[in-house]
Structure formats: C-alpha cells, structure tokens
Amino acid sequence: MRLSGLRLRVADPAGLARFYARYFGMDARPDPQGWRVGYAGQDADLILLPGGGSYAHQRTHRYWKIGVTLPNVDIAVAQLRGAGIAASEPKQFIDIGYMAHLTDPEGFVIELLQHDFEGHRPQDAGDPDMPLGGGAHVGQITLRTGDIDAELLQFASMQRLSIQDVPQYGFDLHFLAYTDDTPPNPDLTAVENREWLWKRPYTQLEFQHIAGQAFEEDPAFAGLEITGAG
C-alpha cells in the first residue's frame, strides 16, 4: 500500500495547480475529479477538487498542513520571497528540524522542512537554479488528534517511524508510513532518527497529538488517497 494523495476542496483547482507547478516544481495534470499535482516518485500528490473556497486554517481543525522536505530551506525561502510569496524566517525548531512556513494562494499551510538540522547542512546542498533548490518531496501530511491510540489502530498497517515529544508546546508528534524501512536507532524517540526521517523519499502521515482534545472535521479536507488498500 502507499499513501498516494491528499484530497483538498479548493476554489480554483487549475489556478492552484499552476502555483504548485511554477513555484514548487511539481508536475500538474488534469484529474477526473479536478487537478493532481506532485513530484515523481513515491510521495503523495495533492488532489485539488472543486467546491472549496474562503478557507481559513484554524488550530481546532483536524487537518493541519503538508510538509515539503528538501535539502536547503534557505534557498527555497529566498526563491519564494523573490517571487513575492511571503514565507517565515527559517529557523531550527528545538530538536525537530530546520524549517519555515507559508500559505498557498487558497490559505493552506505549507511547512518547508530541511533534511538536515541547522549547522548540519552540507555546503553544496541545493541548487539555486531549481525550484525550491531541487530535491523536494511531499514529506508529511499532518493531521491533529486527541486520541493517538485510536489513530494507530485505524492505520495499523502503517509502520511507526518516529515519536517526538514537545512538552513545552503541549503536544507530541507521531510519524507513520507504508514502508519496510527501520530507523537507525530502534528507540523511536531518538533525536538521531529525525534527520534520517526528513530524507525519506515517501510521504509520512504525521499526527500532532494533544491528549483529549477534540478537533473539527474541516470541509476543505476531503480525505486521504491510499493505493493498494483493500
């Protein structure tokens, strides 16, 4: 099985597809349901469906963001800002990763997550002549949950790759994928696994877990596409 798509309802599927093709270097193609954009390889596509609009992300929503993993976040942010697209200042977020954030033209959140922590990036990482510096993947689709045990039961066929506790912000993160890969350290909480995780060439399902919290089903989130299921 493979996590092969994220379905989002948007106001202008064709226009949003052009945005991801132009600035993120994704392939865009018409889909029977709308438009499909993504990178070649094993990661999930964004399936852009009509029927959305006026999207405004809320912390109470179950759907949160996509994470785009890449070799050099500084190159990616410089390119986006040069094109007039606002992006946050890249920074190391505790012991999780070097990242920046932005929203697409319809208001959906995008996290840019570097393969390597701040100070660990190879000098030659990234190509300024490629969109986002090249080497990008849709690394994560992030959902929120108040009951991680229920999610692990629902997605029992996925392998758990990492558990990242963030007590200062009141949540923990859980990463799952359809893969036979095993992390370098069998302790899934180990920090040393995280840069390995950001380099995986497939999309992980990430849960931000806030114990006991209830989250709203966002009408813009139309579900996941999992190929090979059933």
Domains of the chain: 55-217 (3.10.180.10)
Tokens describing residue 174: 């859980």
Sheet containing 2-9: order of strands: 27-31, 34-38, 45-49, 2-9, 221-227
Closest CA to 43 of 62, 57, 24: 24
Per-residue pLDDT, averaged over 134-148, amounts to 98
The beta strands (E) that lie in the chain are given as 2-9, 27-31, 34-38, 45-49, 63-70, 91-93, 97-103, 109-114, 137-145, 159-166, 171-177, 204-209, 221-227
Residue 228: predicted pLDDT: 87
Q: Report how far residue 26's alpha carbon sits from residue 18's, in angstroms, rounded to the nearest whole number.
A: 9
Closest CA to 173 of 58, 100, 95: 95
- The pLDDT tens digits of the residues spanning 156-167 come to 999 999 999 999
- The pLDDT tens digits of the residues spanning 53-110 come to 989 999 999 999 999 999 999 999 999 999 999 999 999 999 999 999 999 999 999 9
- The pLDDT tens digits of the residues spanning 170-202 come to 999 999 999 999 999 999 999 999 999 999 999
Question: Is this model's pTM higher than 0.85 or not?
Answer: yes
Cα–Cα–Cα angle for 143, 146, 149, rounded to 5 degrees: 90
- Provide the pLDDT confidence category of residue 230 given band limits of 50, 70 and 90: low
Residue 229: predicted pLDDT: 65
CB 143 within 8 A of CB 207: yes
Contacts of 112 (CB under 8 A, 6+ apart): 67, 68, 70, 73, 76, 77, 87, 90, 99, 100, 101, 102, 132
Count CB atoms within 10 A of the CB of residue 62: 16
Q: Report how far residue 49's alpha carbon sits from residue 222's, in angstroms, rounded to the nearest whole number.
A: 9
